Amino acid sequence: MITHAEMVSSLSELECRTNFCQGKITEYMLSGSKEAFYMQTEQKSPQLVIRPAYELFQNELSQLEGTHAKPGYFHSAQMVRFPKRIYKSLTPVHYGLAFGFDNQQALKAFILLLQKICQNK
């Protein structure tokens, strides 16, 4: 599995810029766009979380070699650019789609495909 340092290095190489880091969540923006995504580091290996609106592309993204879609939605109050929904409480919380990666090549392929999807929407 990809390490936190490898993920940060790959995102930097792809010119994804970071906006803030709060706890275990770091907000990034895709290169040349205002599309936000989040890196979550609470688990053994980090994962990226994208907007739930990209659920239509979840199969396409998860079919990239070395990419794994996590089941269900990932919830975090720190993902402020994402929509909210009720989850385990009375207060709505931000949510998105989480993906894990085996290596840096898988992460890079994922980001490049996500950029392509964002440019075509």
**CATH code for residues 4-120:** 3.90.1150.40
Q: Where do the structural domains in the chain lie, given as residue ranges?
A: 4-120
Whole-number pLDDT of residue 43: 66
For residue 90, the model assigns a pLDDT of 84
pTM for this one?
0.93
Report which of 33, 68, 35 is spatially closest to residue 53, judged by C-alpha positions. 35
How far apart (Å, rounded) are the C-alpha atoms in residues 113 and 61? 7
- 21-74 per-position pLDDT tens digit: 988 999 999 998 999 999 998 767 899 999 999 999 999 999 999 999 999 999
Band of residue 92 on the pLDDT scale cut at 50, 70, 90: very high
